[in-house]
Structure 1
Amino acid sequence: MTGSFQIEIVTPGRIALARGDIIAVRARDASGSFGIRPGHADLMTVLPASVVSWRAVDGETGFCAVRGGVLTMSGGKRLAIACREALPGQRIEDLESEIVAHQAGAEDSDRAARTAQMRLHAQAVRQIVHFLSPARGPGGHGLSDSFAAEDAS
């Protein structure tokens, strides 16, 4: 089959790739690696974290690392991939170093988020303990004062 098709790779925050001159795509799903050419039958499949490659009419090749996603081919003319994250690149070697750097940044970000979550949790526990503790001194604001007042009446 001759001709070309459109490819679009999107994440929730951006369009990572949009081209209309693609003649071949290589991807991987649970069943293994597969290829798509212009005129391919309609298809929908789930992609694991993997690298999708393509070749354009002029012979240019490209790659895109995707963090899972859904690939759909419609009408033999439009391939779309919706994924959580996508890192496009022209050379697989460059893409590999970008992925390593991206993962390191993501790990740092996750670590900072977990630390902030633990701090908030500890602060909430301290506030609960303070609220439930008996008051120290006259006119305190502890919960046990409320119960003591009810018992006295």
Structure 2
Amino acid sequence: MLAELHVELVAADRKVWSGDATIVVARTASGDVGIMAGHTPLLSVLESDPVTIRTTDGGTVVAAVHGGFITFSDNKLSILAEIAELAEEIDVERAERALERAKSETDGAAQRRADVRLRAVTGAR
């Protein structure tokens, strides 16, 4: 059995997901990081990007995360995001409309948010 770490994914307005995982992959200001049990302690700024959590039961949880922090210590990982939504919660058509609107208005921040949401659903990096 693979070693486990406990994960808490929290947005400013709610607890998004909590459970045990074998690995979590996230994009930080320093680049992509994969965290497994026993990883060195970590505190980093999160970039807007999908976060992938491989659960101990063999499942995968993907969330669109927009800013925040990631911390790891004593096999406990906390993802504290400004905004976070599970891939299964994302309305693809709405995200596609938001992306098109952001492109036409040349709103880079809105375009990035919509792009991250769509990549969380499709699994694209």
Q: Distance in 2 between matches of 1:98 and 1:73?
A: 35
Residue 6 (1) aligns with residue 6 (2) = yes
RMSD: 2.6
Would you tell me which structure has more strand in proportion to its own residues? 2
**Deviation of residue 30 (structure 1)?**
2.1
**Deviation of residue 96 (structure 1)?**
7.7
CA spacing shift, 1:103–1:31, aligned 2, 3 Å = same
Q: Distance in 2 between matches of 1:99 and 1:38?
A: 37
Equivalent residue for 1:125? none
Structure 1 residue ranges, 4+ long, deviating more than 6 angstroms after superposition: none
- Letter paired with 1:57: T
Equivalent residue for 1:53? 52
| Structure with the greater alpha carbon radius of gyration | 1
Q: Distance in 2 between matches of 1:102 and 1:7?
A: 32
Deviations 1:6-53 (A, max 9, x none): 11111221101111x200111111222120111111100001111100
Equivalent residue for 2:30? 31
Residue 40 (1) aligns with residue 64 (2) = no
How many residues align structurally? 100
User: Are the equivalent residues in 1 in contact too, given 2:45–2:69 (CA < 8 A)?
Assistant: yes
Equivalent residue for 2:95? 100
Q: TM-score w.r.t. structure 2 length?
A: 0.69
Q: Where does structure 1 lack aligned partners over 5 or more consecutive residues? A: 108-153
